[in-house]
Amino acid sequence: MTLYALFVAAVVAQVIVGRTHLLAVRGHIVDRTGVVASLIGIAAGLSFFAVVVWGFAAFHWYYVIPTLLVMGLISGMIVTRTSWAFWYQAKAVVDFVAVALTVFLWWAHWPF
C-alpha cells in the first residue's frame, strides 16, 4: 500500500507540473526560470514516462490506468485559473519532487 501511495504521489506531481506547463504555453508565457530549472523540467517530463512504465511493471494494469486517468482529472481541479500562479512559481520544486520520487521508485523498488 505504501508503494502505491508513492506511485500516486509521483503521478500527482507529474500531472500538476504538466498542467501548469500546458496553461503557460496556452497563455504564451515564456519560460525564463534558468538553466537548472529547465533541465529539471526536462528530466521531469521524461520521468513521467518512466513512472508510468514503473507503474505497469509493479502493479496490474487495472490499477495503473484508472490512477492515471483520475490523477489527470484531479490536476484540472488542482491547477485552476486562480491557483495557476502559485503552481507556476513552485514548478521547479514540484519538478524536483517528481524526479526524486521517480528515481526513488526505480532505485529502491526495482520491479523487474
* Domain definitions of the chain by residue range: 2-108
**pLDDT higher than 90, residue 16:** yes
pLDDT band for position 96 (50/70/90)?
A: very high
Q: What is the pTM of this model?
A: 0.88
Residue 81, classed as helix, strand or coil, is coil
* 77-88 per-position pLDDT tens digit: 999 889 989 999
* 28-57 per-position pLDDT tens digit: 888 777 888 888 888 998 999 999 999 999
Sequence letter at residue 49: F
Task: Give alpha helix (H) positions in the chain.
Answer: 2-26, 35-58, 61-78, 84-89, 91-108
Distance from C-alpha of 72 to C-alpha of 64, rounded to nearest angstrom: 12
